[in-house]
Amino acid sequence: MKGVTVITHPLVQHNLTRLRDKRTAPQEFRRVLSEVAALMLYEATRSFAVRPVPVQTPLAPARGFQLQHEVVLVPILRAGLGMLDSLLQLLPHARVGFIGLKREEKSLRALFYHKSLPRDLTKFEVILIDPMLATGGSAAMALEGLAGLGARQVRLLSIVAAPEGVAHLAAVVPDAVIFTAALDRALNDRKYILPGLGDFGDRLFGT
């Protein structure tokens, strides 16, 4: 795989700790998540290609820059929705695609239930949003689907990642790049991340 970047910025780590804390209620969880997401996006877009463009200031001509490619943000439903709004604040021109996946309760394998994406992703920078990378089954399925539409070097934003999920993605989607706030210890026998932060969707939506 192209790599895993653990974002150690103090503000990210401070807010991650609030997310991990079991006393953090959904209202606060959503607010803190928005802050972490924005800070992570800053890091994940650092290598975006730009092209030079001329710009006229009130005083003189200057050299400016524009993003070279359009951006598509793709949250995996449900949990990825929690990061979408704050990413759109920073990338208001981004398109938004959706992939619906749900880990089946017994097998814990990702089941596909919805997709809404641009038909051709070859010319886009694609950012996949899935806050938990546990077994990696959900992210791998989504990344394979995006690759099938021509996406290359998709950046995955995950709040917490497990070593098992990272290894799985490295094996099946080596082109992907992961940005995470934490690379945690392991999965438990129900494939939850330890120490993790529990069930992300439940904590976000209060279910």
| Contacts with ligand URA, residue ranges (CB under 6 A) | 132, 134, 192-193, 196, 199-201
Q: Report the nearest approach of ligand URA to the CB of residue 20 (Å).
A: 11
Contact 75, 116 (CB under 8 A): no
Q: How far apart are CA 147 and CA 103, in angstroms?
A: 21
Query: Alpha-carbon dihedral of residues 118, 88, 168, 187, nearest 10 degrees?
Result: -140
From residue 80 to residue 109, the character string flagging contacts with ligand PRP as x (rule: CB under 6 A) and all else as - is ---------------------xxx------
Minimum distance of ligand PRP from residue 88's CB (angstroms): 19
3-state secondary structure of 28: helix
| Cα(87)–Cα(39) distance, integer angstroms | 9
How many residues at the interface with ligand PRP, by CB under 6 A?
Answer: 21
141 forms bridges with which residues in the sheet? none
Is the Cβ of residue 23 or residue 190 nearer to ligand URA in the bound state?
190
Using the minimum distance from each CB to ligand URA, give the nearer residue, 9 or 191.
191
Q: What is the CA radius of gyration of the chain?
A: 17
193, interface contact from ligand URA, ligand PRP, none, CB < 5-8 Å by kind: ligand URA
Q: Is 158 in the site for ligand PRP (CB under 6 A)?
A: no
Pairing of strands 95-96, 61-67: unpaired
* Interface ranges with ligand PRP (CB under 6 A): 76, 78-79, 101-103, 110, 130-139, 165, 191, 200-201
